[in-house]
Amino acid sequence: MLLSAQNPKIKLIRALAGKPKERRENGAFLAEGARLVEDALNAAWKFRFALLSEEASPRAGQTARRLSQAGITVEAVSGEIFASLAETGSSQGILAALELPQPVFPPDPHFLLLLDQIRDPGNLGTLLRAAAAVGAQAVLLPPETTDPFAPKVVRAAMGAHFRLPIFSLGWAEIRSRINGLKVFLAETEKASSCWRTDLTPPLTLVIGGEAEGASPQARELTDENIAIPMPGGMESLNAAMAGTVLMFEVLRQRQEKIR
């Protein structure tokens, strides 16, 4: 059992819970909770190791046994140390250090999501979860968007990281990646109704940030603004809600076209 806060594995966990630079330099990120760790295992993700609290829940114990059977190192830690590492108030008592991915870009993209200046971790995680649910092929994140592998984002995404290629790119590379796709920007002004816009051709959907909306760089790439009609009088939805509605509208239109 690990009892010292100076243990190298404990120190790595603390580093991965911190700044994006620490995650990049160590090439790893955190997954906390039985469900997320199970999702990573089911996806055949590369693990560094896992930590199991002496006060872990029965489900976490079962997950730890599966990890051990798969040849993944599981270290027991005291409840006190685990509590100091856990990001959630009611942790199940298991977390894992996972390798950062090396995603492969889809060879013939027809549905990409560009999340521009999304700074709230909960919103970003929710958008990633929705993107995975609708079958988006990849998510592109410019420098102004928060780190997708921050612990709060990973928790909010509920396993989307293990199903969805996520790329943090500069604007020049983003422009190159989306070349040939029609770019739609979610907007509230000077925009066409999403219900009346053809979203079946190959496209990139841009969702702007919570406070300032899309950046000038994103607007330069945009071919057409689209909006969600809101007859109830509200001016806007938050980024996660708006993005989810629009992604499912893309899916709906495409499924209707197949029928």
| CA 17 to chain CA centroid, nearest Å | 16
Question: Which helix (H) or strand (E) segment is 206 a member of?
Answer: strand 203-207
Domain boundaries, the chain: 8-99, 111-258
Residue 3: band (very low, low, confident or very high) from pLDDT cuts 50, 70, 90: low
Question: ∠ CA 136-139-119 to the nearest 5 degrees?
Answer: 130
Mean pLDDT of the 185-196 span = 93
Of the two residues 114 and 230, the one the predictor is more confident about is 114
Q: Could you read off the pLDDT of 115-137 as tens digits, one per residue?
A: 999 999 999 999 999 999 999 99
User: Is the CATH number 3.40.1280.10 carried by domain 111-258?
Assistant: yes
Pairwise pLDDT comparison (211 vs 26), residue with the higher score: 26
Q: How confident is the model at residue 189 (pLDDT cuts 50, 70, 90)?
A: confident
Average pLDDT of the residues in 9-29 = 97
Mean pLDDT of the chain: 95
Domain 8-99 has CATH 3.30.1330.30: yes
Which H or E run contains 122?
helix 121-134
In angstroms, the first-to-last Cα distance of the chain is 58
Cβ–Cβ under 8 Å, residues 160 and 128 = yes
Q: Is the pLDDT of residue 93 over 80?
A: yes
Pair type for strands 94-99 and 28-32: antiparallel
